[in-house]
C-alpha cells in the first residue's frame, strides 16, 4: 500500500507527497481557525457583516430626505419615570415587526411595561420599499389624535396580510389600504369622520417624518430596531432577550443613581 503512488510522482515520491500533505493539512487548519474566528466575531457583532459602500450611499441619500424634519414625537406607553426606556423603531408593513408586535410585544407590555419596569416609546421608521407603510403610519397617528394609537397599532400589525405585503415579500396586497384602515378605526371606536379627514389630509405626515429622521440620526437601518436605555439592539428580539436587557439596564441605572462613593 505504501508504494501505491502514481508512477509520474515516482521520482520524488519519498519527500514530496508528505511535505505537500502537511502543507495541505496546515491550510485546512488555517481555514478552520480563520472561518471559526470570523463566525464567532459575527455572532458577537452582527452588524459587522452588513453594509457596503453602495448601501451606505443609499442610506445617506435616504437620510437627506429628512433633513428638515422637526423634533421626533414617539408614541408612548407606561410610566415615564420608570428606570428603563425601551424605544422601538418599526415599520407597520414589515412582516418581522408584525411578528414581534403580535407574538412578543404582548408579553413585553404585560411583564415589563405594565409592571413598571420600563417606559415604552414607539417611533415610525417606514422603509421605502413598503408602499403602504406611510399610509399606515398616518392611520396610526390619526388614531393617536383620538387617544387610540396602541389600539390602531395592534390592528395594523395583526391585519398586515390584508393591506401589506403579499407572501412574495415584494408586492402589496392592495393599492388602496384606506377602506381597511377605516374599518379598523370603526372597530376600535374612533370617530370615523374625524379619522378620515385626518388621514386624507395626511395631517401627521410631519410627525411620521420626524420620527423617521430620529431613526436615521441614530443609525437605524433595519426594523425593528430597539434602544434599551440607549443601547442599540437591532432585529425582532425574543422576549427573554428584551427582559434581560431591561434588567441589566435597570441594575446599571440603580447603581449609578446610588453612586456608591468608594465601595468596591
Partner 1 sequence: MRRMTIAALALIGAFVALYLTMYKMGAIGHLACGLGGCERVNTSSWSIFVGAPVAAWGLAFYVVTFLVALAGTSARYAARPELSYLLAAMSFVGVAFSAWLTYLELYVIEAICKYCVSSAVIVTLIFLVSVADVMAHRRTNQTS
Interface with partner 1 (CB under 8 A): 1-2, 4-8, 17, 20-21, 24, 27-28, 31-32, 35-36, 38-39, 42-43, 46-47, 49-52, 55, 58-59, 62, 91, 94-97, 127-130, 167-170, 221-225, 234-237
Closest approach, Cβ 33 to partner 1, in A, equals 11
Q: Is 190 exposed, middle or buried (0-12, 13-18, 19+ CB in 10 A)?
A: buried
Report whether 77 contacts 116 (CB < 8 A).
Answer: no
Closest approach, Cβ 233 to partner 1, in A, equals 8
Nearer to partner 1, 105 or 151 (CB): 105
Residue 212's Cβ-side half-sphere holds a number of Cα atoms within 13 Å equal to 25
Torsion (CA) 19, 22, 28, 33 in degrees, nearest 10 = -130
| Greatest CA separation for the chain | 94
Nearer to partner 1, 171 or 263 (CB): 171
Nearer to partner 1, 158 or 255 (CB): 158
Nearest to 123 by CA among 180, 207, 204: 207
Q: Which three cell numbers stand for residue 60?
A: 445617506
Q: Which three cell numbers stand for residue 111?
A: 411583564
Nearer to partner 1, 28 or 192 (CB): 28
Q: Indicate the helix (H) or strand (E) that contains 240.
A: helix 239-258
Q: Can you say how many angstroms the Cα of residue 244 is from the centroid of all Cα atoms in its chain?
A: 18
Closest approach, Cβ 96 to partner 1, in A, equals 5
Nearer to partner 1, 177 or 224 (CB): 224
Closest approach, Cβ 9 to partner 1, in A, equals 9
Closest approach, Cβ 98 to partner 1, in A, equals 10
Amino acid at each position: 500500500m505504501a508504494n501505491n503512488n502514481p508512477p509520474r510522482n515516482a521520482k520524488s515520491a519519498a519527500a514530496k507527497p508528505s511535505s505537500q500533505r502537511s502543507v495541505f493539512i496546515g491550510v485546512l487548519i488555517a481555514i478552520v481557525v480563520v472561518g471559526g474566528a470570523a463566525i464567532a466575531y459575527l455572532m458577537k457583532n452582527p452588524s459587522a457583516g452588513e453594509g457596503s459602500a453602495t448601501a451606505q450611499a443609499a442610506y445617506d441619500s435616504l437620510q437627506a430626505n429628512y433633513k428638515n424634519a422637526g423634533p421626533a414625537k414617539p408614541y408612548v406607553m407606561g410610566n415615564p419615570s420608570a428606570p428603563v426606556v425601551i424605544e422601538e423603531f418599526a415599520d407597520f408593513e414589515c412582516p418581522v415587526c408584525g411578528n414581534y408586535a403580535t407574538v412578543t410585544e404582548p408579553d413585553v407590555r404585560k411583564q415589563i411595561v405594565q409592571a413598571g419596569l420600563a417606559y415604552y416609546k414607539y417611533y415610525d421608521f417606514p422603509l421605502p420599499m413598503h408602499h403602504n407603510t406611510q399610509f399606515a403610519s398616518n392611520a396610526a397617528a390619526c388614531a393617536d389624535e383620538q387617544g387610540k394609537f396602541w389600539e390602531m397599532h395592534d390592528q395594523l400589525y395583526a391585519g398586515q396580510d390584508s393591506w401589506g405585503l403579499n407572501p412574495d415579500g415584494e408586492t402589496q396586497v392592495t393599492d388602496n389600504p384606506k377602506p381597511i384602515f377605516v374599518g379598523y378605526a370603526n372597530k376600535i371606536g374612533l370617530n370615523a369622520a374625524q379619522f378620515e379627514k385626518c388621514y386624507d389630509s395626511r395631517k401627521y405626515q410631519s410627525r411620521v417624518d420626524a420620527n423617521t429622521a430620529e431613526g436615521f440620526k441614530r443609525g437605524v437601518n433595519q426594523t425593528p430596531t430597539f434602544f434599551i436605555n440607549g443601547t442599540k439592539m437591532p432585529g425582532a428580539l425574543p422576549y427573554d432577550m428584551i427582559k434581560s436587557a431591561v434588567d441589566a439596564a435597570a441594575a446599571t441605572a440603580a447603581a449609578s443613581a446610588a453612586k456608591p462613593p468608594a465601595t468596591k
